[in-house]
Amino acid sequence: MKCKSSSFKVFATVVKKGSCNYYKEGDTFPLTGFTPKGLCDSAYAVLSRDALALRYGAKLPWQTSEHTLLTHCPDPTGAVWELKRVPVRQQILNRYTNRTNSKLYFPNPKQMYISRRG
């Protein structure tokens, strides 16, 4: 059986720190299917189930908007997280779009090699 490829990337951002000493408000982690470095396993266990659904385009009843939802750490006084899905195509366009005139640009490979050596 072939899996449908995901058309979204999902990011988790701390909205409210609560009593958690591990994170600051605004900390962001990409949720790719493995626990990101710096994210505790308990928080990832809660975030991963919703992130997986969002990654494949699901619409959950508790979403705050079409592409975001709020969820809470398993600790009753822990962090509040915002999960946001971003279309993969949009990420690629953002990477290669010059924001001043909205034209596509691609980095010069020679400049990339020089910067790696230097």
Are 17 and 79 spatial neighbours (Cβ–Cβ below 8 Å)?
yes
Task: Name the domain count of the chain.
Answer: 1
pLDDT digits (tens, 9 = 90+) for 50-60: 999 998 888 88
97 lies in some domain:
no
31 lies in some domain:
yes
CA dihedral over 42, 47, 49, 51, signed as positive or negative? negative
Statement: the pTM of the whole predicted model exceeds 0.85: no
**For the sheet containing 28-31, what is the strand order?**
28-31, 8-16, 80-87, 68-72
36 lies in some domain:
yes
pLDDT digits (tens, 9 = 90+) for 10-41: 999 999 988 888 889 999 999 988 889 989 88
63 lies in some domain:
yes
Question: Domain containing 44: what range?
Answer: 8-88
94 lies in some domain:
no
Q: How far apart are CA 38 and CA 22, in angstroms?
A: 8
Q: How far apart are CA 13 and CA 15, in angstroms?
A: 6
Helix (H) or strand (E) holding 85: strand 80-87
